[in-house]
Amino acid sequence: MEPIVLSKKQRQALLNVYCPTVEQTIAICEVELKQQDKGQMNYLEVPFEQFEQISAHFNQTNNIKQGAFTYQQVRHIAEAGNVHHLTMDAQGSIYFTEETIGMSTAVSFAQSKWNGAERAEAVENAVFTGLMIDGELFAQQVIKQQIQLVDFIDDMELDAEIVEAIQKNGEKVVIQKMASSATKKAKYSSIATKKAFTLSNGNMVTNAIVTDVMANVDIVQTIKGHLSPAQLFKHVSKTATGLVGSIAGFIIGGGIGFTIPSVSTAVISLIGGIIGLILGSVVTTKLVKKALDFIIKDDAVCMLEIFNEALVDLAQQYLLNERELQQVLNDFNEIYNMRQELRNMFASDNREAFAREMIEKELDRIVRQRMYLQVPTNQELYEMIVRLV
C-alpha cells in the first residue's frame, strides 16, 4: 500500500495522523518527517493507543505527540459525520480537510458540547487539551495565525513585559513569551485544579477535562441496573423454583432417594433421568418444557455477560455520556425482545461478534443524533489563550 502524502495545505505545524493500523500511521509519519520545511519543526499527533509503538519505531518522541483519544473513538465520530470537515477516506485514515486544529483539541471540544457544556466551556476544554497534548507549540500556532489577521498590539491588552518585548524584539519573541506564559498558567492555575488533571498526563483527558464523561465503573453499574438477569428473567426464576419442587416430588414419589444438588445442576444432571423415569406420563411434556426454559435461562445469563462486556467496551469507544447510555439501554429493553436475542446469540457461531454487531447498530444510530458542530475558530482559541497570558 502506498503511503498517503498530505497536501501542502494540510502540511501545517501540527498534523493529525490517524490511521487504522500502526504500520499505516508510521508510513505517513516517515514521509512527513522527511518533508519538513527547513527551520520549521512539524509535530505529528497520533492515536493514543498507537503512540508507544510509533515512538519506539522512530526511537524518539520529540516530534510525535500522543493524542488523547484512540483511533476507534475518533473513527466513530468521523463516521457519524457531525463534525464539520472531519472526514475519513477509503483507507480509513481520518483527517480535517480544511481545519488546522489538532484532532484531540477538536474532539475534546465536540465531546464537551455533546455532553452539555456551553460553547465557552467547550472551547476552554479544547484549549486545555491542545496545551496538554502539544504544549507551547499549540499556543504558538494559534497566536501566529491570529496576529496575521489583526492589529496585534492595538487589539490586545498586554502586560508591560510583553509590550516591551514587542518593541524590542518583535513578533517572534512575543509569540514565544505568550505561548510559554499561557502553558505555564494552564498547568498551575486553579482551572487545572478544577479539571483535575496535569499537562503531563495526556491520557487523563477523556476522564477529566471533557464534561460528563463516564468512568468505566459508572458504565458497568448503569448497564447492570438495566440489563441484568434479575430484570430480564423475573418470571423465569419463579418457574425455576416451581420446577425444582416438581423434580423433588417426582424423585421422592418414585422412591429414587437422590439428594438434589443446586438448582442449576439439578436441572442439567437429572433432566435426562427424570424423562426416562416418567416417560409416557401426561406431565412429561410440561416438565421438560419447564426444564428447557430454565436451561435456556442459564445459557441466556451467560450470553448476557458477554453482551454487557461488549457494551461496556463499545460505550467507551463511542464516548457515550450518561444520557446516551441510558437511551441505548432503554432501546434494548423496549425495542428488542432481549430474551429471544440472547437465545439467538447462544445459537450463533460467534457470540461476541453477534453482540457487537447488535450493539454497534444502536450506537451508530445514537451518535448520529448528536448536534452538528463547527470546531472552534482560531479567534475563539486565541481569545481563550489570551486569558491565560
pLDDT digits (tens, 9 = 90+) for 181-205: 888 877 776 555 555 544 444 445 5
Q: How far is CA 264 from CA 251, 292, 296, 341, in A?
A: 16, 11, 11, 22
Does residue 220 sit in the same domain as residue 205? no
Across 241-252, average pLDDT: 45
Q: Is residue 40, in this structure, part of any structural domain at all?
A: yes
Average pLDDT over residues 26-33: 88
Residues 181 and 270 placed together within one structural domain of the fold: no
- Residue span of the structural domain in which 259 resides: 216-367
Q: In terms of domains, do 198 and 225 share one?
A: no
Q: Residue 227's pLDDT band (boundaries 50, 70, 90)? A: confident
Could you tell me if 321 and 201 lie in one domain? Answer: no
Instruction: Determine the Cα–Cα distance for residues 174 and 165; give it in Å rounded to an integer.
Output: 6
pLDDT-derived band at 37, boundaries 50, 70, 90: low
Contact 213, 321 (CB under 8 A): yes
Listed in sequence order, the residues at least 6 apart from 165 whose beta carbon sits closer than 8 Å to its beta carbon are: 173, 174, 177
232 and 254 assigned to the same domain: yes
The number of distinct structural domains making up the chain is 2
Q: At 365, is the secondary structure helix, strand, or coil?
A: helix
Q: Is residue 297 assigned to a domain? A: yes
User: Is residue 374 predicted with pLDDT exceeding 50?
Assistant: yes
pLDDT for 3 equals 41
Mean pLDDT of 115-130: 90
243 and 130 co-located in one domain: no
Average pLDDT over the chain reads 76
**Same domain membership, residue 190 and residue 136:** yes
Per-residue confidence band for 8, with pLDDT thresholds at 50, 70 and 90 = very low
Both 19 and 154 in one domain: the answer is yes
Q: Assess if residue 8 is contained within a domain.
A: no
Q: Can you tell me the distance from the alpha carbon of 102 to that of 126, in angstroms, rounded to the nearest whole number?
A: 9
Q: Is the pLDDT of residue 389 over 60?
A: yes
3-state secondary structure of 138: helix
Mean pLDDT computed over 240-263: 44
Average pLDDT over residues 367-384: 94
pLDDT higher than 80, residue 136: yes
Lowest mean pLDDT among 7-16, 44-53, 166-175: 7-16
C-alpha cell at 354: 453477534
Res 23 pLDDT > 90: yes
pLDDT for res 278: 44
Residues 181 and 302 in one domain: no
Same domain, 76 and 204: yes
- Please name the helix (run of DSSP H) or strand (run of DSSP E) that holds residue 66, with its range, or none: strand 64-66
DSSP-based three-state secondary structure for 12: coil
Please report, rounded to a whole number, the percentage of residues in the chain having pLDDT higher than 90. Answer: 34
172 pLDDT above the threshold of 90: no
- Give me the pLDDT at residue 232, please: 63
Run of H or E residues at 46: strand 43-46
Q: Tell me: pLDDT of 339 over 60.
A: yes
Are 278 and 184 in a shared domain? no
Cα 216 to Cα 286: distance, rounded to the nearest angstrom: 44
Q: Looking at the structure, tell me whether residues 271 and 348 fall in a common domain.
A: yes
- Indicate whether 5 belongs to any domain: no
Whether residue 56 contacts residue 49, with contact meaning beta carbons closer than 8 Å, is answered with: no
Q: Tell which wins on pLDDT, 157 or 347.
A: 347
305 located within any domain? yes
Q: What mean pLDDT do residues 141-148 have?
A: 81
Work out the average pLDDT over 43-53: 92
What is the pLDDT at residue 258?
41
The residue whose grid cell reads 481569545 is 383
Tell me the β-bridge partners of 184.
none
